[in-house]
């Protein structure tokens, strides 16, 4: 499996995680979590939005970007010859990983609650960054 195939798979998983959280929140359905006592405390907190946009929407958009970029790299390997492609991907993956890491810190130290869907998304973002650094 190529590295971009791995990022594609990770991005699809991340997309579905973010979409699941967004869908539950939008429909005011309870999000069942096993790690924390109350995932709603996390996804309904004042920290669930940044720049006026739901974190889940930011995640969905990020994972769509990674899917499209990974597909482009798989289907059109010539794009890999452009250093701006790789550099841009690493920068965006780095920003996403740092933002996810920050949100995990908010869960642990500010809200004192965990949402395993959010933690899984953080791990996916970090793995995508690591993989992109070795591409």
pTM of the shown model: 0.91
Given a cut of 70, the residues of the chain with pLDDT beneath it are 1-2, 36
Domain ranges of the chain: 3-133
Beta carbons of 66 and 128 less than 8 angstroms apart:
yes
Beta carbons of 31 and 115 less than 8 angstroms apart:
yes
For the chain, the residue count is 135
Beta carbons of 71 and 8 less than 8 angstroms apart:
yes
Percent of the chain with pLDDT over 90: 66
d(CA 119, CA 135): 24
> How much is the pLDDT for 36?
62
Q: What is the pLDDT of residues 23-49, one digit of tens each?
A: 999 998 888 787 767 788 888 889 999
In CATH, what class is 3-133?
A: mainly alpha
């Amino acid at each position: 499996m190529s590295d971009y195939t791995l990022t594609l798979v990770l991005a699809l998983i991340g997309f579905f995680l973010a979409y699941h959280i967004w869908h539950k929140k939008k429909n005011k359905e309870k999000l069942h979590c096993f790690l924390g006592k109350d995932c709603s405390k996390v996804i309904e907190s004042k920290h669930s939005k940044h720049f006026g946009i739901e974190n889940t929407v930011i995640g969905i958009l990020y994972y769509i970007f990674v899917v499209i970029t990974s597909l482009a790299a798989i289907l059109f390997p010539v794009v890999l010859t452009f250093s701006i492609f790789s550099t841009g991907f690493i920068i965006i993956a780095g920003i996403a990983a740092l933002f996810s890491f920050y949100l995990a810190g908010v869960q642990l130290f500010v809200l004192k609650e965990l949402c395993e869907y959010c933690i899984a998304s953080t791990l996916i973002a970090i793995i995508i960054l690591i993989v992109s650094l070795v591409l």
